[in-house]
Amino acid sequence: MASLMENLIDVLDRESTEYEALLQLSQRKTPIIAGGDLAELQKITDEEQELVSRIHNLDKQRAGVTADIADVLNRDVNDLKLPNLITMLSARPAEQQALADSHDRLQAAVRGLKRVNEQNSELLNSALEMVEFEMNLLQASKAAPETANYNRGAYNAGNTMGVIDHGFDAKQ
């Protein structure tokens, strides 16, 4: 049982390290999103994909170790969550403290990542709204009404009002 607990603590520590690295990448991504640097954003997204893949593998390892612990304790693996396991280790305070520390570190990294990801999501939504506004502005300027502007031959010159084609007449 002691080696299973050591394995679980080791997997949790490695998973925490990966989540902390993912958190740092997400924090680096925030100014890049605000600046609109798509090439750098793509690089960071690729790095994030690698980290997420490693986290997924560690999560599988953690699930396997937790299933082994559940078998040893003759408990249902679905009922054996980390807080429950920490409580069960009251007879072994050193392991209990190490597991609690690993659990707290992992939770802190995940909470920080969630916060930064929500912030980045808001920035992305704002950027998308701005692009949509600019697209609507461009489309509206192309569909602006013609002016009553005639040339010497009494033909309509076909000029349109709009931000792109002409500016406002400041001489009025």
What pLDDT is attached to residue 163? 46
Identify the pLDDT of residue 138: 83
Smallest Cα–Cα separation from 141: which of 166, 117, 118, 121? 166
Residue 169 inside a domain? The answer is no
41 in a domain, yes or no? yes
Asked whether residue 131 is domain-assigned, the answer is yes
14 part of a folded domain: yes
Task: Identify the segments of the chain with pLDDT beneath 70.
Answer: 1, 143-172
Is residue 111, in this structure, part of any structural domain at all? yes
Task: Report pLDDT digits (tens) over 61-105.
Answer: 999 999 999 999 888 888 888 898 888 888 888 999 999 999 999
Query: In total, how many domains does the chain have?
Result: 1
What domain range is 113 assigned to?
2-142
Does 168 fall in a domain? no
Residue 70 to residue 4: CA distance in whole angstroms: 10
Q: Is residue 156 in a domain?
A: no
Considering the domain boundaries, does residue 152 fall inside one? no
**Cβ-contact 106, 15 below 8 angstroms:** yes
CA 155 to chain centre: 58
Question: What is the CATH number for 43?
Answer: 1.20.58
Which amino acid, residue 86?
A: I
pTM summary value: 0.75
